[in-house]
Amino acid sequence: MVGLGASAGGLEALEEFFRSMPANNGMAFIVVMHQAAKHVSLLPELLDKCTQMDVAAIHDRMTVQPNHVYVVPPGKHADLLDGRLHLNDLPEKHVAPLPIDHFFRSLAAERREMAVAIVLSGTGTDGTIGLSAIKGESGMVMVQAVASAKFSGMPQHAIDAGLADYALAPAEMPATLISYARGPFLKTPASLEKPTPGIQKALPEILIKLRRRCGHDFSGYKTSTICRRIERRMNVHQIDEPKQYLHFLDKHDSEAETLFRELLIGVTSFFREPWAFQALAKEAIRPLLKQKTEDSQFRIWVPGCATGEEAYSIAILLRECMDELKVHLNVQIFATDLDDNAIEAARVGFFPSGITADVSARRLAQFFTRDDGSFRIRKELRDWLVFAPQNVIHDPPFTKLDLISCRNLLIYMQAELQKKLLTLFHYSLQAGGYLFLGTSETISEFDDLFQSLDAKAKIFRRKETPSPPDRRAQFPLVGTKADERTELPVAPQQLSSAGLRDAITQMLASDFAPPTVVVSENGEIVHVHGRTGMFLELAPGGPPKDVVSMAREGLQLDLSSALRQAARQDAPVVHKNVPVRTNGDTVLVNLVAQKIAQPKSIRGLLRLSFEVVPDVAPSAAEKRTAKQTPAKASKRLSARERELQRELQQNRESLQRTIEELDASNEEMKSANEELQSTNEELQSTNEELETSKEELHSLNEELQTVNAEFQDKIRELSTANDDMTNLLNSTDIATIFLDSALNIKRYTAQAKRIVSLIPTDLGRSLRDLTSHLQYESLAADAEQVLKTLVPTECEVQTADGCWMLMRILPYRTSEDRIDGLVMTFVDIDDSKRARDEAASLTENIVATVREPLLVLDADLTVRFANQSFYQVFQVRELETVGQLIYELGDHQLDIPVLRDLLHGISSRGGSFDDYPVDHDFANIGRKRMLLNARRITTPAGKSDLILLAIEELKD
């Protein structure tokens, strides 16, 4: 089964795809397209013209058949279950309607490796999460090549996510798709779980090449899973033999990387199996939070985190539980994975709009921000998580953990490796720690290490029992490779007090540092080393907030300046000979401020070192001078000191005022900053609303693009039909005029200009206002009569130049059987009428030459014509004969009962009678014996039958 997802610009791609797809291909195609809910879709009709396969709009519970195309109707989500298509209404307005993602997920669950997903032109990210589900079940993914897509958003996002097996133009997809479907991978169902002997034989060499290229060993993973993934890659490249695939790996470096990522099976989603996360909150997180003291640490490890959805889900759950219980803890969540690309994606914390299917609207609003139609995790939650590449098999684990969430990782590993990982997890958890596994995983015989709390949700608690020697954690778990452990950076605020003190002490001891204070960039004291009482003292009032407020007299100005400079640069800042008042005396101090670069755990903090400048002994000359004039020098220096002290005092007061003014300015700036922050939050809220509106407009634009494409195709069809009709009408050489219900001109053919004076600007004008070229005054009146009675009319009319036309006026009926005007046609009958008149004249002349009386009767036995012999013999006039019944002529001269019966028989049944003798008293000619001859004839037009009656007098 092939699911095709498209949005704006997708109609052209779909038409191109199906034109190139053979009808007898053995596949079923389900087309999902972004369309407005109330839109009447023309897509089935348009696609039907591009393929010989049957195309139909899906109705609920429709059975899927091969060689058929099914179109999901607008405003519906389609699900596939047991070979039937089920329709559901779109979700609530606050959830993005992502029909492509929705169907692809259902297709993956139903058809697994027999599923194919194709993403065509469109904007946004719909389809990406569904493609991930398809790849997770070993299905195949195609996307439209970006260069051929009218809108590249959807295909490009799928390519960037590394999900595309092929990127092709729509016309190239069918041939590749058919080749893939006929490949060896799909001949053996995955349910057999038995690799082919060829793959098993080549597997060790493939794994060696993979380890050499990527540095990771998959020998502990399940053989069946690895072989199926290798077979799928062989099928993608149309390779039948494992030996050929080994050569392919040697020639193409990128294939090893692709195979490595496919073996990782990085399929994940937010809150996968939500009921399990609810159980986790109840059984593990809330009990742990209640045991913790304020500001203590909560440590979590998520191995095999893929792109981070599971780690972020646990962070969201933990945040909700902390808010509920009103506790504050220092949270550290370590999320690791083998895939560097997945880790980079997790660090960014940027997810497509498809997560709306898994994350509630409340959580989206609380923990995410909208960003160009997608969602970004909020910073306060992101700061809890540390993402790092790690090989759980070879690298040392994290320790002293409260919770390990390792879901759907063990199922891909062999039993022996599973056991080693479980002992490792027991070692990593601290007393009372919890283990969270996938619903298909179990602790098997390790119930002596873990206590089961929820068997369905697979939540276990660490038991405090000594591990036997054979179950003690060892790492690396397999092999002897000594991989270098990946160092995980830790934010300073996340370190424990003891850990922070040890790291700083180690750093200072290595440098043989003088009295030193370690502070943050804003001056907050983190750690004090050595005796600093000569330089710092507690100020009156509450506890000091920063080191500057604790500086002794004379040190504050230089200390504040040094802090600011050191925060802006990496080089040390030195202030020499700073006079500091301490214990009633003044000492000179060298102040050094420098940003800390190592170790990484405290990188970014500032180190303040104080060093007292030693007194310098006076020279011999200075001593002699002092002995010669001790009193005078003492007096002179004393006066100078007082003057300098006064100046210094004034400067200090001035500086103090400046500092106070600066502090006041700083307070004002803080106040302004808070106002700006509030404004920024309002703008952020407005931006989110605008982003929502943008997404709605974006979705509407996609739907309009689709509708527009359908209408463009329909317009082309209507234009072609219009041209066909115009050419047809013109080719018939029949003047035709279309009128609306008010007798206004709607349309006319070129020949109609001979009947009515028409120019293109006359469209919409009334027939009554136009000049007719007919010798007929009641044209408009006849049209009104037909419109009123709906009875067509037909008559012969003559143009001003003497040409005869057959005029017909008929009601115009729409497809809904509604009268919407009239159709007037004028057929040129001039030649036929002239020929008919000539024939009639010739016939009359021929009949007139006959010596015997001759009558022409219609079916009602009314006289239509009589020759001169008839008038002479029966002594009647033309006015008394034509239009009269035969047996009422000339005082009933021909009222012969036998003749009447014979003529009625001929009129009703046809036939004739020849030479029928009649004896009758004729009023004008006396008693005569007449011989009658009658024959029924049909006119050339075939519209009526006539009776020709010849009368011959019999002579004795």
Predicted local distance difference test score (pLDDT) of residue 632: 44
Q: How far apart are CA 298 and CA 242, in angstroms?
A: 49
| Predicted pLDDT at 491 | 41
CA atoms of 458 and 801, how far apart (whole Å): 100
Asked if residue 471 has pLDDT above 60, the reply is: no
User: What confidence category does residue 510 fall into, taking pLDDT thresholds of 50, 70 and 90?
Assistant: very low
Cβ count near 89 (within 10 Å)? 10
Average pLDDT value for residue range 348-366: 87
List b or e across 618-646, with b for residues whose CB sees 16 or more CB atoms inside 10 angstroms. Answer: eeeeeeeeeeeeeeeeeeeeeeeeeeeee
Mean pLDDT of the chain: 80
Place 4 in a pLDDT band, splitting at 50, 70 and 90.
very high
Which pLDDT score, from 0 to 100, does residue 277 have? Answer: 92
Q: How far apart are CA 301 and CA 406, in angstroms?
A: 8
The pLDDT of residue 826 is above 80: yes
Partner residues linked to 57 by β-bridges? 71
Lowest mean pLDDT among 156-170, 336-350, 880-894: 880-894
Please tell me the predicted confidence (pLDDT) of residue 506: 55
Nearest 5°: phi and psi at 742?
A: -100, 15
SS3 at position 176: helix
Confidence of residue 169 (pLDDT cuts 50, 70, 90): very high
Name the residue with higher pLDDT: 294 or 513.
294
Has residue 488 got a pLDDT over 50?
Answer: no
What's the pLDDT score for residue 446?
77
pLDDT tens-digit readout, 548-602: 878 888 788 788 888 888 887 888 888 888 888 877 778 888 889 988 887 766 7
| Three-class HEC string of 848-910 | HCCCCCEEEECCCCEEEEECHHHHHHHCCCHHHHCCCEHHHCCCCCCCCHHHHHHHHHHHHHC
Burial of 129 per CB tally in 10 Å (0-12, 13-18, 19+): buried
* Cβ–Cβ < 8 Å for 775, 799: yes
Least reliable range by pLDDT among 385-399, 423-437, 655-669, 784-798: 655-669
Q: Which amino acid is at 596?
A: I
Question: Which is more confidently placed, 940 or 916?
Answer: 916
Maximum alpha-carbon separation in the chain: 204
475 near 395, Cβ under 8 Å? yes
pLDDT tens, position by position, 627-664: 444 444 444 446 567 657 666 766 776 687 788 778 77
- Angstrom distance (rounded) from CA 211 to CA 956: 135
Confidence band (pLDDT; 50, 70, 90) for 472?
low
Best CA proximity match to 62, nearest among 76, 32, 77, 83: 83
pLDDT for the residue numbered 575: 86
Query: Which pairs with CB-CB distance under 8 Å and at least 24 residues apart come from 924-928?
Result: 924/874, 924/875, 924/876, 924/890, 924/893, 925/873, 925/874, 925/875, 928/953, 928/954
Number of neighbouring beta carbons within 10 Å of residue 331: 19
